[in-house]
Amino acid sequence: GESVGLHLPTLSVQEGDNSIINCAYSNSASDYFIWYKQESGKGPQFIIDIRSNMDKRQGQRVTVLLNKTVKHLSLQIAATQPGDSAVYFCAENMGSGGGADGLTFGKGTHLIIQP
């Protein structure tokens, strides 16, 4: 089946800098995308989501951008902090209202915040 993938497995940024984590998806039927943060030894934690009828959504220090033309999703984290160090996963869902197929996850990007 089609899959969601990430460009970079590891991203290292200086504390206080902005970071951008990228994700490519191949399923043009996907209409919902979500970013999760997973700290060591914990389950994934919801960060932000976006539907396919939007191209940008902002949260607290995070912004998700969706480019449907090139099937690209990105997560921007502003003014990174040590607590942002984690693995970040993007995921997609083809169905609306929850799906029997669950979410399809990428392999994750490990974000490292340098002091």
Judged by CB under 8 A, the chain residues 60 through 89 that form the site for another protein are 89
- Rule CB under 8 A: say whether 102 interacts with another protein: yes
Q: What is the DSSP letter of 101?
A: T
Residue 84: strand, helix, or coil: helix
What's the min distance (Å) between Cβ of 101 and another protein? 7
CA distance 11 to 95: 31
Helices (H), 62-114: none
- Rule CB under 8 A: say whether 10 interacts with another protein: no
- Rule CB under 8 A: say whether 104 interacts with another protein: yes
Q: Which of 70, 83, 100, 115 binds another protein (CB under 8 A)?
A: 100
- Rule CB under 8 A: say whether 115 interacts with another protein: no
Q: Which of 54, 107, 112, 114 binds another protein (CB under 8 A)?
A: 107
Closest of 61, 60, 64, 58 to residue 79, by C-alpha: 61
CA 76 to chain CA centroid, nearest Å: 9
Part of the chain binding another protein (CB under 8 A), chosen from 11-19, 53-61, 75-83, 93-101: 93-101
CA distance 94 to 60: 26
- Residues forming contacts to another protein in the complex (CB under 8 A) are 32, 34, 36, 41-46, 49, 89, 91, 93, 95-108
